[in-house]
Amino acid sequence: MGASVPQLTLGLLVGLVIGIASQAFLPLFQQRVRKRRPRPLPPTDDQGDWEAPTFDSGGSSAEDDDNLRVVEGIAGLIGNTPMVRIPSLSEATGCDIYAKAEFLNPGGSPKDRVALTMVETAEQTGKLIPHTECCLFEGTVGSTGISLAMIARAKGYRCHIVIPDDQAQEKYALLTRLNATVEKVRPVSIVNSNHFVNVARCRAREYSQTASSVTITSSPSESHHSHRTHVALRGHHQGYFADQFENPANFAAHFNQTGPEIYRQMRGQLDAFVAGAGTGGTLAGIARYLKPRIPQLKVVLADPTGSGLFHRIKHGVLYTPLEAEGTRRRHQVDTVVEGIGINRITRNFAKVLEPRSSNASTPAAALPWVDDAVHVTDEQAVLMARYLVSTEGLFVGSSSAVNCVAAVRTAQQLGPGHTIVTVLCDSGQRHLTKFWNDEYLQALNLPTSFPDSLAFLD
């Protein structure tokens, strides 16, 4: 049957609209497709002005497939950080000095791994349920708080951070922007109930108690989120004290992730691993993973001024009476370095004080997990950070600088031809108002020059 006049008119109109629309939107569509397509590689036959680099530029190969990975959410960005060789330190010592670039984690430090592992472990044991009124509490000098606050946003928790009031301003700003509640406290000894760790524990308890009778039901507006809970949850208005210093999930994160990554990246070929300790999770987790697999490996603690751990490793006693955290009423550790150094043995650090073998009569039982310790002064840390900028354009925070000083010292002790691995914990961007602030350093009689040699370590 033939089409009627109105049908023909309608058909013509529809055709016209489609024609105009395709003309108008085709360029946009092409643009989108162009954006999605990977950029073409530079020509290989006719190279024009472009010259193929002769160094390893990170171009794709089977080994690089890891770098091309596509991940799910912020948690997928955590870990698998690159290992970087530091040419200036390597050439100055005749060794190969490498660093695990942990500052490239999305929250800017290795604490992302720890925070995620602590939260996931708590979820597995039912202590935390996402998208209820659960709140994460932590006492931290910053990095762990930032990582927890970030993960809290992604997973649907509240976050309350207790932090000493003498830390770099950047940390408070970041925590606030990540929507954490920030409670600043005076830096006091761990035996004082106002110590940041004790306050955080107390706040978690208070939060759970005040809300223990509350029943949480997901609101209708939340019901479109398939991953959100739809059942009434009694008693899950929980306060969860993460407790990074004592929580074994901290050690586990480094034992299960950072240690194996280092082993794979170095193909098991390293002579020394060097790191500082705050909670001790990094040092202990990595040392305990690597040592049984690399028998000749030396593990070296990098310790800032004021910390008692150096003495514990070198002489078997934690502190001199002057440094005892229980007796001092001043800062936790007297140094410009943030994140490492402590005057008590935490459960995570204690993992490297355990015997190497459960059978005390075997020779292995007498071997230490940590072989040596290097004391790093504030002046050395400041100058190393500035040397790394001068020679490498590497802008790192204070604990990374301490690690690099200790890595150089270890290289000098071992002699040329050895391979040393350390950690770059966080970026200098997190320390602009303190460790990277000239006025702050000058007030403490610390140098602000940018050395171009390692003469400051002579």
Binding to ligand PLP (CB under 6 A): which residues in 70-109?
109
The residue type found at 162 is: V
Sign, CA dihedral 100-104-106-111, equals positive
The three state secondary structure string of 56-73 is CCCCCCHHHHHHHCCCCC
Among 81, 189, 282, 343, binds ligand PLP (CB under 6 A): 282
Among 156, 187, 239, 281, binds ligand PLP (CB under 6 A): 281
Query: Judged by CB under 6 A, does residue 279 bind ligand PLP?
Result: yes
Contact region for ligand PLP (CB under 6 A) — 17-25, 278-286, 327-335, 353-361? 278-286
Nearer to ligand PLP, 271 or 426 (CB): 426
Contacts (CB under 6 A) with ligand PLP, residues 412-431: 425-426
Applying CB under 6 A, which of residues 399, 410, 422, 427 lies at the interface with ligand PLP? 399
* Span from 140-148, 158-166, 365-373, 414-422 in contact with ligand PLP (CB under 6 A): 140-148
Closest C-alpha to 141, from 380, 388, 333: 333
CB closer to ligand PLP out of 131 and 389: 389
Burial class (CB in 10 A: 0-12, 13-18, 19+), 165: exposed
Please, what is the minimum distance in Å from the beta carbon of residue 79 to ligand PLP?
A: 14
Q: Are 310 and 301 in contact (CB under 8 A)?
A: yes
Cβ 141 to ligand PLP, closest distance in Å?
6
Q: 190, 169 in Cβ contact below 8 A? A: no
CB closest to ligand PLP, residue no: 339
Site string for ligand PLP, 333-372 (x = CB under 6 A): ------xx--------------------------------
Contact 304, 333 (CB under 8 A): yes
Q: In angstroms, rounded to a whole number, what is the distance separating the alpha carbons of residues 17 and 251?
A: 64
Binders of ligand PLP among 224-263, rule CB under 6 A? Answer: none
Nearest approach in angstroms of CB 295 to ligand PLP is: 24
For residues 102 and 423, the answer to whether their CB atoms sit within 8 Å is yes
Segment interacting with ligand PLP, rule: CB under 6 A, options 136-144, 155-163, 292-300, 405-413: 136-144
Contact 340, 278 (CB under 8 A): yes
The CA distance from 371 to 368, in Å, is 6
How many residues at the interface with ligand PLP, by CB under 6 A? 19
We find the least distance from the C-beta atom of residue 406 to ligand PLP, in angstroms, to be 13
Q: How many residues does the chain have?
A: 458
For residues 37 to 76, the per-residue mask of contacts with ligand PLP, x marking binding by CB under 6 A and - elsewhere, is: ----------------------------------------
Among 397, 428, 436, 441, binds ligand PLP (CB under 6 A): 397
User: Which tokens sit at 371?
Assistant: 């072989």
Q: Give the nearest distance from C-beta 339 to ligand PLP in angstroms.
A: 3
Q: Within a 10 A sphere around the Cβ of 82, how many other Cβ atoms?
A: 14
Site residues (CB under 6 A) for ligand PLP, limited to 171-230: none
318-354 burial: b if 16+ Cβ within 10 Å, else e: bbeeebebeebeeebbbbbbbbbbbbbebbbbebbee
380 binds ligand PLP (CB under 6 A): no
- Residue 308 in the binding site for ligand PLP (CB under 6 A): no
Q: What are phi and psi of 136, to 5 degrees?
A: -85, 135
Q: Which of 145, 164, 278, 306 binds ligand PLP (CB under 6 A)?
A: 278
Residue 22: phi, psi to the nearest 5?
-65, -35
Summarize as ranges the residues that interact with ligand PLP (CB under 6 A). 109, 111, 141, 143-144, 276-283, 339-340, 397, 399, 425-426
